[in-house]
Chain A
Amino acid sequence: MNLKELYQEIILEHGKNPRNLGKTDNFNKDAKGNNPLCGDNVHIYLKLNDQRKVEDISFEGSGCAISMASASIMTDLMKGKSDNEAKEIIEDFLGMIKENPELKSNILKEDDKTKLMCLSGVKQYPMRVKCATLSWHTLVSAMENDGKEISTEK
């Protein structure tokens, strides 16, 4: 276990000053997610344009440094991506958090990968994995727009 790996500068900085926090104007898709065990909650707002590209994305919510940083970094890098690209990135990220040693997607730029890999510290803290993944699962739900609330506890 290594706290320094978990609480890297980038995480602490995004956690303290989350990007894209708030409700974006003109969103056309949204979804809520919550972790009933700890009370973390997130609401993702998404604007997909006619070309199915992420025109805007933001989030509201409260949670620990890990969950806020994860939502912040995620929303930042999703801007301008098509829905298929977004899905590929989500799958890649969740795979990395779960088991893969690194990110594979070619869509991700090197510095995006570096930022996302900062979240890999949670692998050593099984109870904290949900903090890192909640916003990502919620984004999937928003894109599918089935209005289903995501919970970390089924």
Chain B
Amino acid sequence: MNIDDIKKEFPIFDEKIQNNDLVYLDSANSSQKPKVVIDRINEFYTKQFSNVGRSIHYLAVAATNLYENTRSSVQKYINAKDKNEIVFTKGATEALNLVANTLGQKYLDEGDEILLTELEHHSNYVPWHYLRKSKNIKINFAEINDEGEIPIENIEKMITPKTKVIAVNHLSNVTGAILPIKEITELAHSKGIIVVVDGCQGAPHLKIDVQDLDCDFYAISCHKMYGPTGLGILYGKKKWLEELPPYQGGGGMIKEVKKDRITYGDLPNKYEAGTMATAQVIAFDQSIKFLENIGIENIIKHEKELIEYGQEVLRKNNSVKIIGNPKNKGGVLSFTIEGVHPHDIATILDEDGVAIRAGHHCCQILHDKLEIPASARASVGVYNTKEDFDQLNESINKCKKIFDLK
């Protein structure tokens, strides 16, 4: 599949959005869906639907096989050692809540410390915050440097003998910084610390090899990865998933239920209580195939070129200030315009069909640190082109004109 004309695989780009061609620069928020994924959902509901893992009729068995196929595809895609290390969740948020909650139940004690970074998305902070209240856990934050990166030294200096968990994002959804996960894991493991990675922005845009990264947990958001909403993935090392308690109780996750005792199912069922997002899981197999067909190396190259071009264009535009300047940067470009609030920017850009995000992007800690209430963010996916950044720049100029800026 040639990445240069990948756009035609996405039906949404045939639509006129308020009479404009869509310039979609909001993939860090959620990606658009290729036709193969949309069609697969339709096909499953039309011709193959059944619940999985329970009944023994033909459709149920076939659906179960399809569901488990996706698990195998994900295992291969992220190079997990064991298929049972892949747990489906309702999103990356639930995956991170699962980890925080079960580690809290079984592994963490009063006074233990968790180390996060100032770049974390709220979904990799709030679940840990609960443990502050329930278990008197202390949370520390590794600081960003002037470029909006987290160098390994900044992690290292915050580690204390009480640090039990380091939970970090793989790729910042604001500055685009790619964190040195492998180095963090090496350092952490040398001190017996667990590493949890929020891979929401990493999984769609980077090569993921969980064995090479050696992290203990890796959370994935499928809707950011050209897949359906309502679906996330938690990768966890088998020893942890076996040792930790279940997160939610319900059908499908049990072995035996008696009036006086309950035993739980084996992996991965132990963590998949109730009817799962069946159609979404089955369709996500197509997202993986779609990514494999393009090739992650091609995706990385394409998005790197785009973001370098985007930075070049916006840097020439005075009054635009780009947030962060990480050496190792993914496809995220956040910026402010002196004298125009990001919400006004977003509304004016929207009029031209340019979809960006404005706000704090679920990173209030970072925005407080940068002493700005909000920022505007352009983020890319496989379907973006350099022309999208030309249009972004043109619409920014329109914005400046409305606000009478030079």
Chain A positions within 8 Å of B, measured between CB atoms, are 1, 3, 6-7, 12, 16, 37-41, 62-66, 68, 125, 127-128, 131
Chain B positions within 8 Å of A, measured between CB atoms, are 18, 339-344, 347-348, 351, 358-360, 364, 367, 373-374, 402-404
Give A12 to B348 CA distance when docked, in angstroms. 13
On whether A3 and B373 interact (CB within 8 A), knowing A39-B364, A64-B341, A131-B343, the answer reads: no
Q: Is the CB of B359 within 8 A of A65?
A: no
CB neighbours (8 Å) of B402 from chain A are 3, 7, 12
Q: Is the CB of A38 within 8 A of B343?
A: yes
The 5 A-B residue pairs whose C-beta atoms are closest, nearest first, are A64-B341, A64-B343, A39-B373, A39-B374, A38-B359
CB neighbours (8 Å) of A65 from chain B are 340-341, 344, 403
Q: Is the CB of A3 within 8 A of B348?
A: yes
For B341, B358, B359, B360, the residue with the greatest tally of chain A CB atoms inside 10 Å of its CB is B341
Interface on chain B toward A: helix, strand, loop, or mixed SS? mixed
Q: Is the CB of A6 within 8 A of B404?
A: no
Q: How many A-B contacts are there with CB distance less than 8 Å?
A: 52
Closest residue on chain A to residue B352 by CB atoms: A3
Closest residue on chain B to residue A2 by CB atoms: B351
CB neighbours (8 Å) of B343 from chain A are 38, 40, 63-64, 66, 128, 131
Q: Is the CB of B373 within 8 A of A63?
A: yes
Give A12 to B347 CA distance when docked, in angstroms. 14
CB neighbours (8 Å) of B358 from chain A are 38
CB neighbours (8 Å) of A64 from chain B are 341-344
Q: Nearest-CB distance from B155 to chain A (Å)?
A: 27
Q: Is the CB of A128 within 8 A of B347?
A: yes
For B342, B360, B374, the residue with the greatest tally of chain A CB atoms inside 10 Å of its CB is B374
Q: Is the CB of A38 within 8 A of B351?
A: no
